[in-house]
Amino acid sequence: MIDLSKAKLLDKKDVLSKFYSLFYHQKNEIYFDGNSLGKLPLQAQKTIEEAVQKQWGEGLIRSWNKYWLSLSSRISDKYSELLGAEKGEIIIGESTSVSLYQVTYALLKEGSFPRHLSTDILNFPTDLYVLDGLEKSFEIPPLKIISYKDEVEAEIEILKASIKNNPGIVCLSLVSYKSAYLYPMKQLNRWASNHQSIIVWDLSHAVGAVAINLKETETIIALGCTYKYMNGGPGAPAFLYINEEWHSKLLNPIQGWFGHQRPFDFSKKYKAANSIKRFASGTPAILSLLGMEAGIDITLEAGIKLLQEKSIQQSEAFIKKVIRELVPLGFSIESPLDYRKRGSHVTISHPASWQICQALIAGNDEHPKIIPDFRPPNFIRFGITPLYTRFEEIKRVIEVLKEIVERKLYLNFPLEKLEVT
């Protein structure tokens, strides 16, 4: 168990502590929701303000050649470095949902794999919605959603059996959004390859907190958002990775001028770019791209291995304190206990989770506001964001949770849920 003096000592010795000052922090607030929306890098604010004034305000159309045309490629190459991909195998531009639609549609049309879509109950609902829509568009067999005994861990043998018996295109989240379960990526890629299948990986809850090497894991397609642990800002564009061997095989179903071989020829006939750029569509969101670059720069400077090591150390400390101090008060742990099977957030539950969550967020005169998030039916997620989460904050949140339940402070909050939780 971490006492206050030990927590402060760990923070003092933390080699990543220097990155804390690179982010905007609210006074009297502890933030544990970086797994949903990362904090604002101070450099991002400076970059956007400067871009609005100089690049947009003064430069206007001239800024396309001077600043903007190369922006997406520059940031894409940085994500390639982070994720163990080759330059030219990642493109930044669309949302995660649009990217999933694009590549899954392209795979269904290309025909190397049986026209059957599957996923599992741990996947993020948006991915299921996209797959369901594609199933209806192509009039193929119903989307298969693989079930397990609970929503904490995938049962790998059940998953493998489903892939073997229902080969095709499988969509999985590398880290589950509810429990933070971490899938064995390389093992499943090989299994899929040996059974006429391909896995499309959603890395949204992993990138920036979990070390990922797309080449070493033999991944063909992956995608993910950049506004969680990557601190790219709300609505920041997603990244899409396609192994170079597949670039010429897959066609973007949303043909737009930025995916053209020569967009500024303004040809009446579409010719897809001979690279990952064929998966670009419309004009890129320049201000969002400018805002997200600081996040990837900070992550690369910190080093993903060190970030994951700190994430494990902090989540282990958090879980041990939950077991010791909160389980006797009616809490349960809804994340894998084995750190090798866990991403960077820890989920707990309680019969009064919604009200407890609101009590944390509200704060009071005795303790700061603490920002986690709630997921149905009764889960509270605590995002361990190693770039700015402190050991002292982990100790504090456990103390406050204990106080809220022991003093029944949560009863002061309504059962009615807000739209954004």
144-146 and 369-371 beta bridge pairing: unpaired
- Reported as a single tens digit per residue, the pLDDT across 181-230 is 999 999 999 999 999 999 999 999 999 999 999 999 999 999 999 999 99
- Reported as a single tens digit per residue, the pLDDT across 23-39 is 999 999 999 999 999 99
pLDDT band for position 2 (50/70/90)? low
Higher pLDDT, 101 or 6: 101
pLDDT band for position 5 (50/70/90)? confident
Would you list the DSSP string of 351-414? TTHHHHHHHHHH--SSS-EEE-EEETTTEEEEE--TTT--HHHHHHHHHHHHHHHHTTGGGGS-
169-173 and 117-120 beta bridge pairing: parallel
- Reported as a single tens digit per residue, the pLDDT across 300-348 is 999 999 999 999 999 999 999 999 999 999 999 999 999 999 999 999 9
Q: How far is CA 328 from CA 152, 197, 223, 259, 356, in A?
A: 20, 45, 40, 57, 16
Would you list the DSSP string of 74-108? HHHHHHHHHHT--TTSEEE-S-HHHHHHHHHHHHH
Nearest-angstrom CA–CA distance, 77 and 352:
45
In this prediction, residues 373-390 reach a mean pLDDT of 97
What domains does the chain contain, in order, with CATH numbers? 4-31+303-412 (3.90.1150.10), 45-301 (3.40.640.10)
Please give the share of the chain, as a percent, with pLDDT higher than 90. 95
Nearest-angstrom CA–CA distance, 24 and 231:
11
SS3 call for 30: strand
- Is the pTM higher than 0.85? yes
pLDDT of 98 reads 98
pLDDT of 318 reads 97
